[in-house]
């Protein structure tokens, strides 16, 4: 069973053809890593699924077409998004960032679960999000997405620009979240991908060039050929 | 010293009028990126409706009558702003040139319609007798209407602060000013906040229109012109989307302009333009504005 099916997705931005018929599936209750060199269209794919860009083709969430829907309706139908560069609301407090995201009437349990995952956010609830470190802002961004019941979580480069210690912390959190949530993860950190992903998609020049299990990630030659990096870490 | 106090407080009174025009303009641009040249027509509609209500309430306008006229004028302008947003602006989001053309068109149409109906001459606005008196502040005799402008602007600022700080729609507006795509990405229809902001901006402009009519000794389809220009200057100096920034900038401009004009007649506008240029050079995002995400 697939939570998300993307079929023949084409996207043009300012006359540039970015995605050329992208097709892939995200299996339910698994972590799918979307990999590829910089600029191959990974983030564009996520942003098109989110409704930020217009595209042609099909994006189905549990069998229901969501391509062309407004972003807020896509989110309400169960797609949560953790953007690249966090995009927390810098002038709002941590608590305000979270309460903006919480959609249900009684969210006590959701807040408790999030604060269990990120105890630091509870102690910093009154602090402006803009004054947090990069790692703490990433926690806010992930926490916002986890406050609601989601069908799938789209996570765009969660460890980008973080110090190695924070990368480990974020990886721990994602590994925990992955136990209960379907996730489509764009990530350059292969160590993290190897740790959490059960399904791998590789893109090149706006197309999917590989879709399958993560076992090839342990093959240095394959990794070098597909991703242009060594298999250890990037 | 009396003169100093007099000029200072009348400058603050003038700044209060600028703030009433600019607060809505600032939120509308800050949240939606809409450069709204129709904002002056909201002010004019509010002024005419307020004038009409004040006339209907009786020949001797009491303070209560005036407050009712001001409130209804604000309400009418708010509803007019909402109508413009729903009919025209919603079709033009992210099309900035079209927005400018359409909103300029709206202001021309409203001005022409009202001019055709009422003429372009000033029509006296009925005001309470108290407005013609003066209040002693530290030895300076301050025209009483200035106190009303200042009090109204402060009440609007407080009302805005409560709305933005303590309500969910206020939270959405504050977040939307920073990054409206991300608000959508949290499952919130940010366009509902747009409509609220248009209504509130129109309401403030309408209230401002009534007070500008009192300040200008009458209502006319042409009263909005210079206030809209000053409104834009206030928004740029205060920072797009920052209501406290607009308040600070409006007060600064009102006071500086009054003092400059007192010492050299006609110097006020020049000093304000210099101030605008200085802020754009040193702090392009405005005094309390934030760099957009």
Is the CB of A76 less than 8 angstroms away from the CB of B185?
A: no
Whether the CB-CB separation of B82 and B195 falls below 8 Å is answered with: yes
Q: What is d(CA B221, CA A218) in angstroms, rounded to the nearest whole number?
A: 75
**pTM of the model as a whole:** 0.84
A71 closest CB neighbour out of B174, B179, B185: B185
**How many distinct structural domains can be found in chain A?**
1
**Per-residue confidence in pLDDT tens, chain A, 234 aa:** 889 999 999 999 988 999 999 999 999 999 999 999 888 999 999 999 999 999 999 999 999 999 999 999 999 999 999 999 889 999 999 999 999 999 877 788 889 989 998 999 999 999 999 999 888 999 999 999 999 989 999 999 998 888 888 888 888 888 888 888 899 999 988 888 988 899 999 999 999 999 998 888 888 888 888 887 765 544
Q: Tell me: the pLDDT tens digits for B40-93?
A: 999 999 999 999 999 999 788 899 999 999 999 999 999 999 999 999 998 887
Residue of B nearest to A87 (CA): B182
Residue of B nearest to A47 (CA): B185
Q: What is the pLDDT of residue A233?
A: 45
For residue B185, the chain A residues in CB contact (below 8 A) are 50, 52, 71-72, 75, 81, 83, 87
CATH code assigned at A175:
3.40.50.300
Residue of A nearest to B173 (CA): A100
Q: What is the pLDDT of residue B293?
A: 52
Q: In the structure encoding, which two tokens stand for residue A87, read together? A: 């995009």
Closest of A186, A158, A144, A149 to residue A49, by C-alpha: A186
- On whether residue A67 sits in a domain, the answer given is yes
Q: What is d(CA A58, CA A66) in angstroms, rounded to the nearest whole number?
A: 8
Q: What is d(CA A98, CA A101) in angstroms, rounded to the nearest whole number?
A: 5
Q: How far is B129 from chain A (nearest CA, A)?
A: 46
- On whether residue A223 sits in a domain, the answer given is yes
Q: What is the pLDDT of residue A230?
A: 63
Q: What is the pLDDT of residue B30?
A: 78
Q: How far is A195 from chain B (nearest CA, A)?
A: 28
For residue B183, the chain A residues in CB contact (below 8 A) are 100
CB atoms within 10 A of CB B281: 8
Domain assignment of residue A180, given as a range: 4-90+153-227
B178 closest CB neighbour out of A90, A101, A144: A90
Q: Tell me: the pLDDT tens digits for B10-26?
A: 999 999 999 999 988 88
Count the alpha carbons within 13 Å of A16 in the hemisphere toward its beta carbon. 10
- On whether residue A54 sits in a domain, the answer given is yes
Which CATH number does the domain B2-282 belong to among 1.10.8, 1.10.3470, 1.25.40, 3.60.90? 1.10.3470
Which 3 state secondary structure label does DSSP give B64?
Answer: helix
Q: How far is A156 from chain B (nearest CA, A)?
A: 13
Largest Cα span, chain A: 51
pLDDT at B137 over 80: yes
Residue of A nearest to B180 (CA): A89
Which 3 state secondary structure label does DSSP give B128?
Answer: coil
For residue A96, the chain B residues in CB contact (below 8 A) are 171, 175
Q: How far is Cα of residue B292 from the mean position of the Cα atoms in its chain?
A: 23
Is the CB of B188 less than 8 angstroms away from the CB of A72?
A: yes
Is the CB of B293 less than 8 angstroms away from the CB of A148?
A: no
Span B195-212, average pLDDT: 93
Q: Hey, of A48, A72, A107, which one would you mutate to test binding to chain B, going by the most B CBs within 10 A of its CB?
A: A72
A87 closest CB neighbour out of B179, B187, B290: B179
Closest of B38, B13, B275 to residue B153, by C-alpha: B13
The ipTM estimated for the assembled molecules is 0.90
Q: In B, what residues contact A, Cβ < 8 A?
A: 171-172, 174-175, 178-179, 181-190, 290, 293
A72 closest CB neighbour out of B175, B178, B189: B189
Residue of A nearest to B289 (CA): A91
Is the CB of A148 less than 8 angstroms away from the CB of B172?
A: no
B178 closest CB neighbour out of A51, A70, A91: A91
Residue of B nearest to A97 (CA): B175
Strand ranges in A79-118 using DSSP code E only, listed in sequence order: 79-82
Q: What is d(CA B165, CA B160) in angstroms, rounded to the nearest whole number?
A: 8
DSSP state for residue A184 in the 8-state scheme: E
Span B5-13, average pLDDT: 93
Closest of A39, A46, A35 to residue A217, by C-alpha: A35
Q: What is the pLDDT of residue A234?
A: 44
Whether the CB-CB separation of B232 and B43 falls below 8 Å is answered with: no
Whether the CB-CB separation of A75 and B189 falls below 8 Å is answered with: no
Q: In the structure encoding, which two tokens stand for residue B130, read together? A: 């108290």
- On whether residue A146 sits in a domain, the answer given is no
User: How many beta-carbon contacts under 8 Å exist across A and B?
Assistant: 57
């Amino acid at each position: 069973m697939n939570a998300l099916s993307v079929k023949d997705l084409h996207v043009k931005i300012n006359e540039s053809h970015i995605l050329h018929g992208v097709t892939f599936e995200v299996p339910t209750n698994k972590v799918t890593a979307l990999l590829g060199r910089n600029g191959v269209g990974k983030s564009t794919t996520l942003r098109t699924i989110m409704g930020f860009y217009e595209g042609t083709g099909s994006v189905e969430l549990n069998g229901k077409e969501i391509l062309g829907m407004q972003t807020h309706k896509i989110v309400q139908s169960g797609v949560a998004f953790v953007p690249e560069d966090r995009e927390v609301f810098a002038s709002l407090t941590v608590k305000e960032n979270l309460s903006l995201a919480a959609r249900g009437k009684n969210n006590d349990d959701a807040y408790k679960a999030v604060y269990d995952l990120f105890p630091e956010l509870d102690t910093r609830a009154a602090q402006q999000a803009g004054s947090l470190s990069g790692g703490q802002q990433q926690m806010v961004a992930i926490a916002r997405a986890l406050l609601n019941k989601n069908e799938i979580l789209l996570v765009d480069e969660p460890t980008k620009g973080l110090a190695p210690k924070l990368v480990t912390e974020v990886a721990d959190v994602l590994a925990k979240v992955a136990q209960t949530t379907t996730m489509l993860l764009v990530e350059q950190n292969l160590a993290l991908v190897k740790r959490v992903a059960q399904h791998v998609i590789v893109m090149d020049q706006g197309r999917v060039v590989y879709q399958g299990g993560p076992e090839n990630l342990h093959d240095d030659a394959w990794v070098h050929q597909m991703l242009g990096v060594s298999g250890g870490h990037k | 010293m009396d003169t100093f106090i007099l000029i200072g407080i009348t400058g603050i009174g003038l700044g209060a009028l600028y703030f009433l025009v600019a607060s809505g303009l600032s939120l509308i641009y800050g949240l939606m990126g809409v450069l709204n040249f129709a904002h002056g027509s909201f002010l004019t509609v509010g002024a005419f409706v307020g004038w009409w209500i004040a006339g209907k309430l009786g020949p001797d306008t009491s303070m209560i009558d005036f407050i009712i006229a001001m409130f209804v004028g604000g309400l009418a302008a708010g509803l007019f702003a909402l109508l413009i947003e729903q009919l025209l602006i919603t079709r033009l989001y992210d099309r900035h040139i079209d927005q400018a053309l359409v909103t300029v068109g709206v202001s021309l149409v409203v001005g022409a319609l009202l001019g055709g109906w009422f003429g372009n001459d000033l029509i006296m606005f009925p005001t309470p007798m108290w407005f013609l008196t003066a209040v002693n502040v530290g030895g300076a005799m301050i025209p009483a209407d200035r106190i009303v402008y200042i009090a109204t602007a402060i009440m609007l600022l407080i009302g805005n602060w409560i709305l933005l700080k303590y309500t969910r729609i206020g939270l959405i507006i504050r977040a939307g000013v920073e990054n409206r795509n991300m608000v959508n990405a949290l499952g919130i229809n940010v366009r509902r906040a747009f409509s609220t902001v248009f209504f509130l901006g129109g309401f403030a402009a309408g209230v401002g229109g009534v007070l500008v009519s009192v300040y200008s000794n009458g209502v006319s389809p042409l009263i909005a012109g210079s206030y809209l220009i000053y409104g834009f200057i206030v928004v740029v100096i205060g920072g797009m989307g920052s209501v406290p920034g607009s308040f600070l900038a409006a007060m600064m401009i009102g006071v500086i302009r009054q003092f400059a004009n007192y010492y050299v007649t006609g110097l006020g506008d020049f000093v304000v333009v210099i101030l605008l240029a200085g802020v754009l050079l040193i702090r392009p995002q405005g005094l309390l504005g934030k760099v957009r995400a």
